[in-house]
Amino acid sequence: MVRLRNVPLPEPFLLGVGVGAVLHRLRPWQLPGSRPIQRLAGTILLGCGTMLNLRAVQAAGSVVVEDPDRLLTTGPYALTRNPMYLGWALLHLGCALLAGSGWLLAAELPAALVVHRAVLSEERRLEARFGAEFERYRAMVGRYLPLGGPEYP
């Protein structure tokens, strides 16, 4: 069973897109380069972010992501410990490229930094709850990118 409440709406990314869109409307800041290429890249990133989030929700199944009773280690969670946050970052970047907006692109970094702090806090809770099992998972799966190997805070 898929739980719709397992779809996090990370406020920092939503706020970043909103603020970037308002700033772009008030004082346009167009990204340099080819608009057709930006639109293509933005569309691809939107598709990838959407697909990653859908697959992560599917993999989570009935597990409540905010308070899991087990570690999620299958599907996209086998490649990245935070597929939904990565998916939202891709959606944000895709919006920036699709709109050709420097403001939307600039808003991604502060949003990502706020989300990263939340991720570090979540990891501390998972470590406290799952101990050695989480340590093994952390050693094998990258925090955001599917690079594997140990990751240092």
Residue 94 in this model has a pLDDT that exceeds 60: yes
List the beta bridge partners of residue 101.
Answer: 30
Q: What is the pTM assigned to this prediction? A: 0.89
Per-residue model confidence (pLDDT) at position 77: 95
Nearby residues of 26 by Cβ (< 8 Å), 6 or more positions away = none
Q: Would you kindly state where each structural domain of the chain is located, as residue ranges?
A: 34-140
Rounded to the nearest 10 degrees, the angle between the axes of helix 102-130 and helix 11-26 is 170
Per-residue model confidence (pLDDT) at position 131: 97
Which of 44, 42, 53 has its CA nearest to residue 9?
53
SS3 27: coil
